[in-house]
Structure 1
């Protein structure tokens, strides 16, 4: 029985089943790869392999062919058309006035790809279902299978309009991740995701593909094609609440780009019997129409969709702050065991937003700085630091509150220094136009290949945009912590002066 850890957790009202905005969609330690053959699995530092199907991300020709095919296959007349746009390169643009609260799309289930879709090669689908392959690996294999049949597949127009190489972090090499995302915790998430995809592919190859090479030839069903198909799923698969949370690829609808300013999402409409979304603002002809991919941080959007919103534009943005117990702590082993009991570790990450930090982080900080004399409260603190318990999490320990806040501040400033080092690196001081001065120490760039050079420049810009937005949150947190500590210490000083005054009075 297969299992998969690839599906990210859904949040309330989430449109897309995975954590990337396609604003560019034309897509506590050093982490090493678990795969010994990384260059084969994720491309070398200077060359990234692509699949033989799909199109350049900004291609309008294949998108127009898709629109024509969908219309001929039952897609009703639309108030939107696919056009080249500033945000997302390709997007759906209003061709008529659209009112707030209006339902759009109406994509019928016959034009939606789900785990129940008919295979051009029925034998391949039957084998996967016989082996109880879950929906994500099943759909990933289905995409590759249909792509291999080219025009013989009913989905050929759809697959031809998909990007040949998304900017998903699945396509970043080890060298690119290590260099560009060294300061951000999203790097570890990217490594985990790539390892999950590689592990899922290896599992399928061992259990199914190698036993049926006539149906799953390795020249088609290989790690490169699976990175492509999973990249498509992470950036385009939607979860439909009204269909019991079923995941699906919805051609046409997945041309919609993300905006942090809208809160509308795709779902199945029982009345019209189609996939729709309801606008939460009006649109004039010529305006790009947006939906929400979910309440995700800039790092999560980059991870799956390959874009980073402009600085300050994402109210859901957050940064992962890494904190650790001190191994010199006399109670280190005891505290570590209690953290493990509640699913935590000696080094832990907590999300920080511009509006503040979670109670769990404060509880972890209390535990980290608590002296042995507070041993009786250790477990209470460890439990409160976990999100797997209903225990009260806002308990305060006034006697160590100052030390706990200083602990968070120290961790925050350590993280800021990493971002500063990255952003101040000589070869990363780039203006928004993507021009920058080449310097020694940068990754090898093949200047004879404009496409290769442009990709590197684009990845660097994405990394700079992400790190700038994450550092902004840390700067705000640093300011709040310093001010709170200053006020606490000023209060303590006043109290001490009053006490000294009273003592002198009675001498």
Structure 2
């Protein structure tokens, strides 16, 4: 960034592609893994001071910058498209069908010349050489690339693209620590966000010590960059596509043309918004990485982390904790709950947590089954502690539900002293995101209490006929009936 040595702004680049989708598709013979980023859905985070010396991005609903990007892309080799950028209800701006689009039709066809990858040519070639010579991973490399190009303003080839990026996204990585603590106090996703931010800061510190401090004339800006491996790329036109939980299509890479495309899994009429999938993620994961929460009940992949812990007063606490440690688990664990049920690992942990001393011979087996590392498909059951295990899960659900309820009941009383219109708008939006997330997560916890039990198979959410509260009720009714029968026999033989 030699040309940018006079730039006085400080960019805090918490994340570009903060969480690359888990299910990006790669041709079996290709060498490029195409990752999607949707600026309208706020999947990257940029924070800059008010004395910015060069423009960066635009409002998330800006059509002027997006239209300018489309014109530039067309002049630069993007083939004629069946989609155009318009304001939309989902994502503020997105790609809308201009013509009839058939199911199974290939769209986009972004040529390699318009894809930003680790092999892209740097305007400041010396910077690129230094980063590659030091084996900087692709994600921080691409983040530094965009900052370098942005500092060149209109002289950068990518100025139209950079101008179309969102200036103020709402990914959790953009929230302050106090906002995370205040609005997500009931959700486990708060811990995930803090961990991600710490990872980003750690990666930046590593790069600062190894590279930035040794070449101050090339790196005058302070950046925070993510540590993510993989051969990845930015796709300027494709990243205008918004996410839908009802769509399962992903970006693909064509080795022969080296271009990026995707195949629709449903037809679209002119005027309809065209969607893509960011992967089967929970509402919390979508908020963490992209800054939005789907409408309640629309995400079949939604889940909530249920926290379980061993009781420190347990006579076998040390033995159980050691068994867990051997299998990579701690005394406090989180397990995902879905509407359809919970994983077998959770049930195994519950068995371990409630087992009495005379079952210590089973501790190792239970701990192994509670670990996702196990490959066993055994439907493990311990009838002697079945009731206690179910009650343990139920109690844990109720504890979590009470946290969500307390937060949702008190949300309106938070931040009553804020008077700045700008702050009020931001806080109002963050509150709504928090309410949407916490409402959806609490709904899953409620459903778990009355929902379906898991079946055999490690880590699977499978349908079952039993219901948690009903199971407990039936067990206790059965015990009562057995006791009555036993008492009847006793009276008979007196």
Q: TM-score, normalised by structure 1?
A: 0.84
What is the aligned counterpart of 1:59 among 57, 62, 69? Answer: 62
Distance 1:349 1:139, change over 3 A: same
Q: Distance in 2 between matches of 1:60 and 1:10?
A: 26
Superimposed CA distance per residue, residues 99-146 of structure 1 (whole angstroms, 9 cap, x where no aligned partner): 111110000111111111111111111111111111111112112111
SS at match of 2:232: strand
1:342 maps to 2:327:
yes
Matched, 1:221 2:194: no
Query: Hey, what's the Cα distance between the residues in 2 that align with 1:49 and 1:451?
Result: 18
Is the Cα contact below 8 Å between 1:79 and 1:95 reproduced in 2?
A: yes
Task: State the secondary structure of the residue aligned to 1:91.
Answer: strand
Q: Give the equivalent residue in structure 2 for 1:436.
A: none
Structure 2 residue 395 is matched with structure 1 residue 410: yes
Corresponding residue number in structure 2 for 1:442: 415
Residue equivalent to 2:249: 264
Q: 1:249 to 1:49 in 2, by over 3 A?
A: farther
Unaligned 5+ runs, structure 2: 1-14, 27-32, 451-466
Q: Trace 1:106-505 onto structure 2 (pairs within 5 A).
A: 106-217=109-220, 220-223=221-224, 226=225, 246-270=231-255, 273-392=258-377, 394-425=379-410, 427-428=411-412, 439=413, 441-442=414-415, 444-445=417-418, 447-448=419-420, 450-479=421-450, 480-505=467-492
Shift of 1:9: 8.0
What secondary structure, in the 3-state scheme, does the structure 1 residue paired with 2:207 have?
A: helix
- Deviation, structure 1 residue 503: 2.8
Counterpart Cα distance in 1 of 2:367 and 2:71: 58
Deviation of 1:500 after TM superposition, in Å, equals 2.2
- Please, what is the CA RMSD of the aligned residues? 2.7
Q: For 1:309-347, what per-residue CA distance to the aligned partner results, in whole angstroms no more than 9, with x for missing partners?
A: 000000000000000000000110111111111111011
Name the CA distance, whole Å, in 1 between partners of 2:24 and 2:60: 28
SS of equivalent residue, structure 1 residue 424: helix
Corresponding residue SS for 2:117: coil
Determine the C-alpha separation between the residues in 1 that align with 2:345 and 2:51.
42
> Are the counterparts in 2 of residues 22 and 306 from structure 1 also a CA contact under 8 Å?
no
Stretches of 4+ aligned residues off by more than 3 angstroms? 6-27, 47-52, 270-273
Give distance in 1, aligned partners of 2:179 and 2:51. 15
Q: Note the residue ranges of structure 1 that are not aligned, 5 or more in a row.
A: 28-40, 240-244, 429-438
1 CA distance for matches of 2:268 and 2:377? 46
**Once the two structures are superposed, what CA deviation does each residue of 1:250-309 show, in whole Å capped at 9, x if it has no partner?**
001000000000110001124554211111111111110001000000000000000000
Which residue of the partner structure matches residue 12 of structure 2? Answer: none
Aligned to 1:287, the other structure's residue is in SS state coil
User: What's the CA shift for 1:487?
Assistant: 1.3
User: Distance between the aligned counterparts of 2:288 and 2:436, measured in 1?
Assistant: 13
User: Separation in 2 of the partners of 1:161 and 1:250?
Assistant: 13
Shift of 1:12: 4.5
Q: Compared with structure 1, are the counterparts of its residues 248 and 164 closer, same or farther at alpha carbon in structure 2 (3 Å cutoff)? A: same
Distance 1:272 1:98, change over 3 A: farther
The match for 2:457 is none
Structure 1 range deviating more: 169-178 or 472-481: 472-481
